[in-house]
DNA sequence: TTGTATGCGTTATCAC
DNA sequence: GTGATAACGCATACAA
């Protein structure tokens, strides 16, 4: 048996079926309303319905010279951080009648750049890059985006202030500092921090901010541990710390929730109880942060809102230099109980 | 100052710059290789580079009559279940040189159908629907997809066997049964199960399978609780159960990890210790399942692989009736310790 | 090997 | 109001 394939009905088919010209059909199906006869409208609509017509958006795009799509590039969609961001972008796009095409850069700056180049081929209405969390030269990316913008595109960037495009970001250093202060307020005095590779702005800013907060509270950090920017990295670092002797470290701050959750696991695996034997704090407030127990103290980052805001920002044709700073907030949960946990020696 | 916008360079521009015809330029930049002169290749390449040319994929699509995109529709991208699935699809697409456009149905069958209709406008190479977890009539969706396929499209569906399209799925009932058996093996005898709305196949199959497993082990379930198909639903149901008196229920099985994690929280909030006072088990093995403590016993579902497989299945032009059953596996973790937890009265 | 001409499905500019 | 028809940017059959 042959695989019968009658191609999608075109505007021509609809027009013929309705007994009108393509122009008329086009007008009722898409174009600027009112200029078409009541009866013809009905004929066309009926014909379209009967044939199951769906406009060829690619053809529409070439004809119009513009698309109704937004291109989104993230580092890793399975990461709650990015998937929440993506959800916000999708919501914003939906509201604007746009549809989003998305690609993952897999935490490689080079791949990210290639992806933007490819995506650019779709002449999307908007390009949003949510690719923080990776290191490497951004010049190529900037060039690519600049060309896109020069050709009339709208770009927005999430979490990497300093790039010459409208940006939505948070004050990593300030937020970390606030957290440190809040924790000091709770009575904590002896801290260790787990951070990612030095090249990562996000990691560095959060670490530096946290240390600054401690200093302001008259506290000196006990230990700073370098590791991978992942949950496993957090696990490894915490394990190392514990193996080397916790001394009287009371609280472990990891620069991301993922790392903090990894650290909590390490604590548990070492036979200690997080929140009791040692407090743990993270940064991001991703979903799982409230699922773990004890619930993770962290800095709330409005990920979903940031995604949505990035859409709005790009759409509004914001000034390339505009940085929309989103509010953050320390969220104290039971992983950092108010009464200083018993220190283990 | 005017906002200067010189549109993206076209193939014509490149051709002119290189001093060749558009046809030649087209050939070297895209078409079937070998048929073009060594020197011209270089000229075109140089010209393209200099102008920053990126082919207009929409135009390419209309000309070729086919796209290099796959459309993916999920219920909620922020849900780890779907984001993991999506990651698999994205990986598969990447491998096939496809780019994915994605939309969220927000757990509404009606929206899902509308989305497919819209996506269809892009004449994507593939459409993948990962929209289980919602109830309602699927007829409209089937019609939409059928039209798409009739026009030469490739469709695949995840987790909803019974639809006339290539499908990747798991045996929910069988897997739940295996879990029940494994749990019975561990010595558990008194179970309660938390499930979602009756209309949800996924929920019903998992619940029924679990009960069947118990029955086979000669065990009668103590309680079956109906609730929302969400983490909060799990919380509410578990709270209800505890409030009504746990009696000697030893283990709480929720039909999804999300619900199970909610249930764990309820247990904790009631002053009990999950895994100690009462065991908890879920289904899906989403990321957070290993982050919570005690780590959640569950059924491992190869979400990432399923996404990738769906891509392959669609691409291979599989038989519409083909259902690719993916293996699942009970994973016993510390939320169901081997020694039956002390029952609380 | 290279160029010319035509077509892809729509939109938009004209006339009527 | 409606209908030809020229773009849109690219691919390709065909001729050179």
Residue A264 and residue A227 in one domain: yes
Do residue A267 and residue A317 come from a single domain? no
Q: Give the integer Cα–Cα distance in Å for B35 and A93.
A: 43
The answer to whether residues B197 and B338 belong to one domain is yes
Beta strand pairing call for A154-158 and A167-170: parallel
| Phi, psi dihedrals of residue B252, rounded to the nearest 5° | -110, 115
Distance in angstroms between the alpha carbons of the first and the last residue of chain A: 78
| SS3 state at B198 | coil
Task: Mark whether A256 and A333 lie in a shared domain.
Answer: yes
Q: For an interface test with A, which of B60, B269, B291 has the most A Cβ atoms less than 10 Å from its Cβ?
A: B291
Of B267, B266, B252, B246, the C-alpha closest to B343 is B246
The verdict on A177 and A269 lying in the same domain is yes
Q: pLDDT-derived band of residue B30, with 50, 70 and 90 as boundaries?
A: confident
Whether residues A121 and B55 touch (CB distance < 8 A) is answered with yes
Q: Does B78 touch chain A (CB under 8 A)?
A: yes
> Is A195 within 8 Å of A225 (Cβ atoms)?
yes
Residue B26 falls inside a structural domain? yes
Interface test with A, best of B55, B77, B256, B257 (most A CBs within 10 A): B77
* C-beta of residue B167 within 8 angstroms of C-beta of residue B161: yes
User: Whole domain around residue B21: which residue ranges?
Assistant: 11-55
For residue B249, what are its two tokens?
Answer: 């229920």
Confidence (pLDDT) at B345: 38
Please give the tally of structural domains in chain A.
3
**Does B6 map to a domain?**
no
In a domain, B4, yes or no: no
The answer to whether B230 contacts chain A (CB < 8 Å) is: no
Same domain, B311 and B276: no
- CB-based contact (8 Å) between B101 and chain A? yes
Question: Residue B4: what pLDDT?
Answer: 62
Query: Same domain, yes or no, for A244 and A125?
Result: no
Task: Please say whether the beta carbons of A195 and A226 come within 8 A.
Answer: yes
pLDDT over 70 (residue B133)? no
Higher pLDDT, A274 or A110: A274
**Cβ of residue A23 near strand D, that is under 7 Å?**
yes
Question: CB within 8 A of B175, min separation 6: which ones?
Answer: B206, B209, B283, B299, B301, B328, B329, B330
Contact (Cβ atoms closer than 8 angstroms) between residue B103 and residue A90: yes
Name the closest residue on chain B to residue A146, using Cα atoms.
Answer: B52
My answer on whether A76 and A138 are in the same domain is: yes
Q: What is the DSSP letter of A288?
A: G
Q: Work out the pLDDT band at A109, boundaries 50, 70, 90.
A: confident
Establish whether the CB of A62 is closer than 7 Å to any nucleic acid atom in strand C: yes
Q: Are A49 and B117 in contact (CB under 8 A)?
A: no
Is B316 domain-assigned? Answer: yes
Separation between the CA of B52 and the C1’ of C1 (whole angstroms): 26
Sign of CA dihedral A112, A114, A117, A121: negative
> Is A1 inside any structural domain?
no
Q: How far apart are CA A196 and CA A177, in angstroms?
A: 17
Residue B78 pLDDT exceeds 60: yes
Residue B115 has a pLDDT of: 93
Strand order in the sheet with A251-254: A223-226, A191-195, A251-254, A279-281
- B297 with B284, same domain? yes
Closest to B345 measured CA to CA, from B252, B294, B272, B260: B272
**Considering only residues 153 to 212 of chain B, which have any Cβ-Cβ distance to chain A shorter than 8 Å?**
none
Domain membership of residue B1 (yes or no) is no
- Same domain for B32 and B103: no
| Maximum alpha-carbon separation in chain A | 88
Beta-bridge partners for A247: none
Query: Which residues of chain A lie closer than 8 angstroms to B58, CB-CB?
Result: 57-59, 61-62, 67, 122-123
CATH code at A206? Answer: 3.40.50.2300
Mean pLDDT of A184-198: 96
* Pair A205, A335 in one domain: yes
pTM recorded for the entire structure:
0.93
The whole-number pLDDT of residue A1 equals 44
Given a cut of 60, whether residue A275 has pLDDT beyond it is yes
Cβ contact (<8 Å) for B8 and A151?
yes
Query: A328 with A301: CB under 8 angstroms?
Result: yes
Continuous segment of H or E residues that includes residue B240: helix B231-243
Interchain contact, A58 vs B122, CB within 8 Å? yes
User: Treating both helix axes as pointing N-terminal to C-terminal, what angle do A109-120 and A139-150 enclose, rounded to 10 degrees?
Assistant: 10
Distance from CA of A218 to the nearest CA of B (A): 34
Residue B236 lies in a domain: yes
A69 close to B (CB below 8 A): yes
What band does B1 get if pLDDT is binned at 50, 70 and 90? very low
Q: What is the pLDDT, as a whole number, of residue A337?
A: 96
Residue B5 belongs to a domain: no
- Shared domain for A340 and A273, answered yes or no, is yes
Q: Which residues of B touch A268 (CB under 8 A)?
A: 293
Residue A6: pLDDT band (50, 70, 90) is confident
């Amino acid at each position: 048996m042959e695989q019968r394939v009658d191609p999608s009905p075109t505007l021509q088919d609809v027009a013929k079926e309705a007994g009108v010209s393509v122009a008329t059909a086009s007008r009722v199906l898409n174009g600027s309303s009112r200029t078409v006869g009541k009866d013809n409208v009905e004929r066309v609509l009926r014909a379209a319905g009967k044939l199951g017509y769906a406009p060829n958006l690619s053809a529409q795009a070439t004809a119009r010279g513009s698309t109704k799509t937004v291109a989104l590039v993230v580092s890793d969609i399975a990461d709650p951080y990015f998937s929440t961001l993506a959800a916000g972008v999708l919501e914003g796009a939906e509201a604007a009648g746009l549809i989003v095409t998305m690609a993952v850069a897999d935490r490689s700056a080079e791949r990210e750049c290639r992806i933007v180049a490819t995506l650019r081929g779709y002449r999307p209405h908007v390009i949003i890059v949510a690719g923080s969390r990776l290191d490497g030269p951004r010049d190529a990316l900037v060039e690519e985006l600049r060309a896109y913008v020069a050709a009339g595109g709208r770009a927005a960037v999430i979490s990497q202030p300093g790039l010459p495009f409208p940006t939505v970001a948070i004050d990593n250093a300030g937020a970390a500092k606030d957290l440190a202060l809040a924790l000091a307020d709770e009575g904590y005095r002896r801290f260790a921090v787990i951070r990612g590779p030095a090249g990562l702005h996000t990691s560095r800013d959060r670490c530096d901010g946290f240390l600054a907060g401690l200093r302001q509270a008259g506290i000196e950090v006990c230990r700073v541990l370098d590791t991978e920017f992942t949950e496993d990295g957090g696990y490894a670092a915490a394990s190392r710390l514990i193996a080397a002797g916790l001394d009287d470290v009371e609280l472990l701050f990891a620069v991301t929730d993922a790392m903090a959750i990894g650290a909590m696991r390490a604590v548990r695996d070492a036979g200690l109880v997080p929140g009791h034997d040692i407090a743990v704090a993270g940064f991001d407030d991703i979903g799982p942060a409230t699922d773990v127990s004890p619930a993770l103290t962290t800095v709330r980052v409005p990920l979903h809102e940031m995604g949505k805001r990035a859409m709005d920002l790009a759409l509004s044709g914001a000034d390339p230099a505009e940085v929309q700073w989103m509010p953050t907030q320390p969220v104290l949960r039971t992983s950092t109980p108010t009464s200083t946990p018993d220190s283990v020696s």
